[in-house]
Structure 1
Amino acid sequence: MRTFAFTRASSLEQALTTRRAEPASAFVAGGTTLLDLVKLDVMRPARVIDINALPLTLVERLADDRLRIGALVTNTALAHHPEVTANYPLLSQAILAGASTQVRNMATTAGNIMQRTRCPYFRDVAAACNKREPGSGCDARHGINRMHAVLGGSDDCVAVHPSDMCVALAAIGATLTLHGPRGEREIDFADFHRLPGTSPHLEHELADDELIVAVTLDPPLEPLGAAYIKLRDRASYEFALASAGAMLSLDEEMIGEARLALGGVATKPWRCHEAEAILEGQPADRAVFGQAADAALADAEPLSHNAFKIPLARQAIVRALRDAARAAKEGHP
């Protein structure tokens, strides 16, 4: 691993000032992605800025019924927070489906949002990867691409976004608060992660001199049923081949409002608006769930080794919608 300088920031302004003074620096909180990539020589920060002392660990209900989550709240604390388990069970389920207890104890809310792909070509400095080295090519498109995206890819990149938590955030709806030299600004979570297009190295809308300081969840659905289904090669500590997060409100047997997002199959957290439009106002039954799944995957484009992801994702969607409807009927998340 290459050597780097280290600074422990005691304030938000100190962290941002240090970053501006040395553009080749990187922020670290839990470090569960950064330190791995430094060891692999994928990321080469000249300085690492520790932001763990910043006061960004509060979870609070706002007057408009939204929930504001500090950027440094750990995944473990967030998954078990009473506001989350009661009103946003999808978020709790998704977080607990990811990584291991030890990783969740270290990983932070903003760090999870900012985590980078686990594409093996991105993590191998001997491979061609436009995300790591713009213009070098994409070995994944004609290589071993079993784990790669069937939605949102381009000729330049088909790397999957790895987060479970972000699937839940996409379904729930959220706003990110970013802090930089011009003060704070807000951006819709749906607009934060970029599709790869012709510039896959530009992964998000965070400027080099900004930090995520909070995530604010949209008001919860009421009454709510929620379910997260994650299909993977092994039962734990494994990234999704396909996952689905569903939220439903029911009036008798009819669907009122529906939210659906996918993971493991797309280049960013994938909200399924077309599927939601099919679900709303319809009976909560398997036929309707199947129609919604077909709509969600209508634009899927398989690669040479991952066509199986399309029927697998369809199963995940139908199961998540079924389980969310069951939870709504039983009156608990």
Structure 2
Amino acid sequence: MIPFEYQRAAHAEEAVATVAAHPHAVFLGGGTNLVDHMKLGVAAPQMLVDVSRLPLAEVEEMRGGGLRIGATVRNSDLAAHPLVRERFPALARALLAGASGQLRNAATTGGNLLQRTRCRYFQDATTPCNKREPGSGCAAIGGWDRYHAVLGASEHCTAVHPSDMAVALLALDATVHVLGPDGARTLPLAELHRLPGDAPERDTVLAHGELITAVELPPASGMTRRSTYRKVRERASYAFALVSVAAALDLDDDAGVVRDVRIALGGVAHKPWRAERAEDTLRGAPATQESFRRAAEAEMAAAEARNGNAYKVPLARNTMVRVLRTLTEGRR
């Protein structure tokens, strides 16, 4: 038995103050990730502050057609929400591609964004891991790296971010609302997660005691409605992505030209990866297989694969092309 304190916060300010005052306290949402890590010996917090019952479980329609999603909204509820399904289909698809029905009933929006890598070395406390124990080394480098990063990795860490939801939110230009000891702030989702660099133990830019309170989607448009998510995995369900792609497309149907596009990749980097090179290549280009292929190649030109994960580079290229073709053919 590993002892720890447990407190249930009555409101967000109390939760933030409690965690900020205790260096070894953490927030507990759905618990689908944290509890596993406590059982494995990967995490050993001295205090859990339960935020799962805070009044942050609503999906609110914003002026202009955007959505504000409370941090404790369950993944299953968000995936089934009629406005999400209608206006942001990429998000609904990504949520339904994650985990299992039982886990989606427990997992929360805020917790999903903050889940940690499923790297087998990170989850095995008997192996070296810079993310788990800074300075101990990275067993994946030179080890079994089939599921590891091909973009943005460093000599200290090659783990990938596991979230499906975060990939879709990145492609939809979501923003994140955060409450901390110094007050509230808002940041683009693209700035929430970080690459490993020389500090892979830090998954996000959040300071200790900062709590995600909501995620906001911008006003819905034809582009967000023409969005989708595709996940490539080793089995049909309950598996993390080898590669995933979320995309939203603004197409001039008459001219057959891409006016605007947003693409995000999962399973390829330490954070959800915005495919900016592919986007830049596609804007103003004809919506053709050749253009899609050129954009995908431009994005993956910077990939650095190792023996075990080299398959991810062509897989990411092909998946991007397939997703873009699906959107131009009018299928969601």
* TM-score, normalising length: structure 1: 0.96
Q: Does residue 1:163 correspond to 2:166, yes or no?
A: no
Instruction: Give the ranges of 4+ consecutive aligned residues of structure 1 lying more than 3 Å apart after TM superposition.
Output: none
Q: Residue in 1 aligned with 2:231?
A: 230
Q: For each residue in 1:278-313, what CA deviation from the matched residue of structure 2 results, as whole angstroms up to 9, or x when unmatched? A: 112222221111011101111100012110111111
Shift of 1:229: 1.4
Q: Is the partner of 2:83 in helix, strand or coil?
A: helix
Matches within 5 A, 1:49-64: 49-64=49-64
Q: Which moved more, 1:143-152 or 1:7-16?
A: 7-16
In the alignment, structure 1 segments of 5+ residues that lack a partner are: none
Distance across 1 between alignment mates of 2:80 and 2:297: 34
Shift of 1:64: 4.4
Q: Does residue 1:269 correspond to 2:240, yes or no?
A: no
Matches within 5 A, 1:60-139: 60-139=60-139
Q: Is the partner of 2:186 in helix, strand or coil?
A: strand
Shift of 1:136: 0.5
Q: Which moved more, 1:33-42 or 1:318-327?
A: 318-327
Distance across 1 between alignment mates of 2:154 and 2:80: 37
Once the two structures are aligned, what percentage of the paired residues are identical?
50
**2:20/2:181 contact within 8 Å kept:** no
**1:227/1:321 contact within 8 Å kept:** no
Distance across 2 between alignment mates of 1:199 and 1:89: 35
Residue type at the aligned position of 1:309: K
Residue type at the aligned position of 1:120: R
Residue type at the aligned position of 2:275: C
Q: For each residue in 1:59-101, what CA deviation from the matched residue of structure 2 results, as whole angstroms up to 9, or x when unmatched? A: 1122244311100011111111111111110001111111101
Distance across 2 between alignment mates of 1:205 and 1:165: 18
Matched positions, count: 329
Distance across 2 between alignment mates of 1:6 and 1:326: 52
**2:53/2:72 contact within 8 Å kept:** no
- Root-mean-square deviation (CA, aligned residues, Å) is 1.2
Q: Which moved more, 1:93-102 or 1:17-26?
A: 17-26
Q: Does residue 1:37 correspond to 2:57, yes or no?
A: no
Q: Residue in 2 aligned with 1:307?
A: 310
Distance across 2 between alignment mates of 1:311 and 1:219: 34
Q: For each residue in 1:136-180, what CA deviation from the matched residue of structure 2 results, as whole angstroms up to 9, or x when unmatched? A: 110101100000000110000000100110110111111111101
Distance across 1 between alignment mates of 2:226 and 2:16: 41
Residue type at the aligned position of 2:232: L
Distance across 2 between alignment mates of 1:218 and 1:141: 39
Q: 1:278 aligns with which of 273, 276, 281?
A: 281
Q: For each residue in 1:211-247, what CA deviation from the matched residue of structure 2 results, as whole angstroms up to 9, or x when unmatched? A: 0001111223325422211111111100011111111
Shift of 1:17: 2.3
In the alignment, structure 2 segments of 5+ residues that lack a partner are: none
